[in-house]
Amino acid sequence: MSDTSLTIENILAPELTLCRVAASSKKRALEFIAEQINHQDNTLSETQLFNNLISRERLGSTGIGQGIAIPHCRLEGLDHVVGVLMTLEESVEFDAIDNQPVDLIFALIVPKEATSEHLELLSQLAEKFNERSFCDRLRQSEDASTLYQRMTASGG
Residues labelled catalytic: 72
Q: Are 70 and 107 in contact (CB under 8 A)?
A: yes
Complete DSSP assignment for 68-94: EE--EEEETT--S-EEEEEEEEEEE--
Q: Which residues contact 71 (CB under 8 A, 6 or more apart)?
A: 30, 33, 53, 56, 57, 62, 105, 107, 108
User: CA 60, 61, 65, 69: dihedral to nearest 10 degrees?
Assistant: 140
Q: Which helix (H) or strand (E) holds 38?
A: helix 26-40
**Per DSSP, what are the bridge partners of residue 104?**
68, 87
d(CA 156, CA 152): 8
